[in-house]
């Protein structure tokens, strides 16, 4: 049977599993997935869902590194999970000669202000396997880190990104990094940078703004905000020949998939969503270039200034990337989830008497 995900791939898109869970990833790869994602949030979820598999790993790490802190053990756990997930994707990486089969691994969320430490952590994570791309946030410091990592010949994936300004700014920084890499004698033909737009998190942010400021907005319009930003970014990336590939993340409903199908689009989908879409009966079509209804756009632009900041290039200065509401919310969640992972590891270590 040709599933909706396989039909999406036939239309020129790529499908990733938005988790590094080995069980989920193996099933996803069997269903056509050619990439995956890891971060502290995901690792925490994976360990909680399957303690029988991962508690022994924590135990072994705690015994091997007797003086390590809970945070240090947690990051060694993240490394171990990344190695296992990268191995599952390695045949795809090998068969496509390095064009696909990437595992995206995120630098420590608490480093979002520190370029040098993000670069340092990114290099360490990249050393775990040849098919790892380093995720860093679209903050001012994170964008500088991604340029530097690219110049060092390391694949990157921009995250904590919601706006056209962020997507274009980081793609241009990656272009500078590719230029520097080439000048240094590196072969950049095999480098594959990615830029994520978290479409659902933008929609969530606008819903929070509307509720807080008591702005009346058609709920249907809000479903199209992230789609509108992604489609505009897609057109700009292609017209300006930016080499980064755009990746859709943070799903809230099927439109975040069905309205964005097209060549070179990457869908990084949670396990539950891609299974839901496969069972939906929706026939995917190339819709990425279809314009969003002008009346919807006009209402969003008029009623929600934060949508205008997301949709209009240059409306959000680099200095405001971190303070943009969706960034604040997401960086806060990532930081809290990392702490949850540290707590989980600490409790396990204490139970062992470590």
Q: Residue 233 and residue 235: Cα distance in Å, rounded?
A: 5
- pLDDT (tens digit per residue) in 204-242: 999 999 999 999 999 899 999 999 999 999 999 999 999
Q: Residue 248 and residue 200: Cα distance in Å, rounded?
A: 9
- pLDDT (tens digit per residue) in 323-336: 999 999 999 999 99
> Rounded to the nearest 5 degrees, what angle is found at the Cα of 282, between the Cα atoms of 279 and 284?
120
Structural tokens at position 298: 């006009």
Which DSSP helix (H) or strand (E) runs through 194? strand 194-198
Q: Residue 227 and residue 207: Cα distance in Å, rounded?
A: 15
| pLDDT exceeds cutoff 80 at 12 | yes
Positive or negative torsion for Cα 205, 209, 210, 215: negative
At residue 91 the predicted structure's pLDDT band, cuts being 50, 70 and 90, is very high
At residue 352 the predicted structure's pLDDT band, cuts being 50, 70 and 90, is confident
At residue 16 the predicted structure's pLDDT band, cuts being 50, 70 and 90, is very high
pTM for this model (two decimals): 0.96
Q: Which pLDDT score, from 0 to 100, does residue 353 have?
A: 85
Asked whether the beta carbons of 54 and 47 are under 8 A apart, the reply is yes
| pLDDT exceeds cutoff 90 at 130 | yes
- pLDDT (tens digit per residue) in 272-300: 999 999 999 999 999 999 999 999 999 99
Average pLDDT over residues 337-352: 95
To the query of whether residue 135 is one of the catalytic residues in this protein, the response is yes
| pLDDT exceeds cutoff 80 at 57 | yes
Across the chain, mean pLDDT equals 97
At residue 81 the predicted structure's pLDDT band, cuts being 50, 70 and 90, is very high
Q: How big is the chain, counted in residues? A: 354
Which DSSP helix (H) or strand (E) runs through 14? strand 14-17
Q: Residue 62 and residue 45: Cα distance in Å, rounded?
A: 20
Phi and psi (nearest 5°) for 96? Answer: -95, 10
Burial 173-212 (b: 16+ CB within 10 A, else e): bbbebbebbeeeebebeebbbbbbbbbbbbbbbbbebbee
Tell me which of 76, 100, 135, 232 is the catalytic residue: 135
Average pLDDT over residues 167-189: 97
| pLDDT exceeds cutoff 80 at 306 | yes
| pLDDT exceeds cutoff 90 at 354 | no
Q: Residue 316 and residue 9: Cα distance in Å, rounded?
A: 33
In DSSP terms, which residues pair with 156 in a beta bridge? 134
Average pLDDT over residues 237-250: 98
| pLDDT exceeds cutoff 90 at 1 | no
Proportion of the chain above pLDDT 90, given as a percent: 98
Asked whether the beta carbons of 22 and 85 are under 8 A apart, the reply is yes
């Amino acid at each position: 049977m040709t599933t909706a995900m396989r039909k999406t791939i036939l239309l020129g898109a790529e499908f990733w599993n938005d988790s590094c869970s080995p069980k989920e990833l193996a099933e996803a790869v069997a269903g056509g997935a050619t990439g995956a994602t890891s971060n502290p949030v995901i690792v925490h979820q994976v360990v909680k869902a399957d303690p029988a598999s991962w508690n022994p790993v924590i135990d072994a790490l705690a015994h091997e590194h007797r003086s390590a802190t809970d945070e240090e053990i947690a990051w060694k756990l993240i490394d171990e999970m990344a190695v296992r997930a990268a191995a599952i994707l390695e045949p795809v990486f090998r068969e496509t000669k390095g064009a696909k089969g990437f595992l995206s691994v995120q630098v420590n969320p608490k480093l979002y202000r520190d370029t040098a430490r993000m670069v340092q952590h990114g290099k360490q994570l990249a050393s775990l396997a040849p098919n790892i791309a380093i995720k860093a946030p679209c903050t001012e410091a994170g964008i500088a880190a991604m340029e530097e990592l690219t110049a060092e010949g390391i694949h990157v994936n921009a995250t904590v990104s919601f706006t056209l300004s962020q997507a274009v700014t980081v793609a241009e920084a990656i272009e500078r990094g590719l230029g520097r890499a080439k000048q240094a004698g590196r072969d950049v033909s095999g480098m594959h940078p990615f830029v994520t737009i978290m479409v659902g998190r933008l929609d969530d942010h606008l819903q929070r703004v509307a509720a807080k400021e008591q702005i009346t907005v058609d709920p249907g319009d809000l479903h199209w905000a992230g789609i509108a930003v992604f489609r505009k970014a897609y057109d700009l990336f292609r017209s300006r020949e930016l080499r980064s590939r755009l990746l859709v993340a943070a799903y809230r409903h099927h439109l975040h998939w069905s309205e964005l199908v097209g060549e070179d689009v990457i869908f990084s989908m949670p396990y539950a969503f891609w299974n839901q879409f496969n069972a939906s009966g929706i026939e995917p079509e190339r819709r990425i270039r279809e314009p969003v209804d002008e009346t919807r756009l006009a209402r969003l632009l008029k009623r929600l200034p934060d949508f205008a900041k997301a949709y209009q290039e240059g409306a959000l200065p680099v200095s405001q990337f971190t303070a943009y509401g969706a960034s604040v919310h997401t960086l806060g969640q990532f930081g809290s989830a990392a702490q949850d992972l540290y707590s989980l590891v600490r409790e396990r270590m204490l139970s062992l008497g470590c």
